Amino acid sequence: MSFPQWNEKYAIGQYQIDFEHRNLFKLANRLETILTNSSSASAINDAIKKLTDYTKIHFRNEETFMGKIDYPQLQEHKNSHRKLITQITDIESQQHKLQEQVSRLKKLLNTWLKGHVIGKDIEIARYLAAEHASRV
């Protein structure tokens, strides 16, 4: 199974959000490489922390943007952000069980990028396109 890579077709057409999604993929890919090549708990936890910190900022920005455009699924989308943060924070606290931490993290990164960024965030682009179409 290959790790998800950023593709411009995932862009939602909003500069800041797309910029952050690209960075999110970079950080997740860096973490995946570390998980595969390193057994150092501190290197892994450093990379988890970087990803988590960036994600929190990104989710805040994305939620503000969804609010601005009156995105109808805002609450549902916020809930799925909260769930991802809870999951990664939970894994982050598992430092004493390195093997389990690594395998849970690999699974989460995959569902996160494929299921959330590619699956759910792209619905924001669809909404924007439909809104725009209804105004012309």
Please report, as ranges, the residues that interact with Fe ion according to CB under 5 A: 62, 121
> Toward Fe ion, which CB reaches closer, 70 or 135?
70
> Toward Fe ion, which CB reaches closer, 25 or 34?
25
> Toward Fe ion, which CB reaches closer, 102 or 109?
109
> Toward Fe ion, which CB reaches closer, 34 or 71?
71
Which residue, judged by CB position, is nearest to Fe ion in the bound state? 121
Least separation in angstroms between CB 121 and Fe ion: 5
Q: How far is CA 64 from CA 58, 67, 73, 113, in A?
A: 10, 5, 13, 20
Least separation in angstroms between CB 134 and Fe ion: 23
Q: How far is CA 94 from CA 3, 13, 122, in A?
A: 23, 37, 32
User: Residue-wise over 104-123: b if at least 16 C-beta within 10 A, else e?
Assistant: bbeebbbebbeebbbeebee
Comparing C-alpha atoms, which of 7, 14, 27 is closest to residue 105? 27
Least separation in angstroms between CB 44 and Fe ion: 24
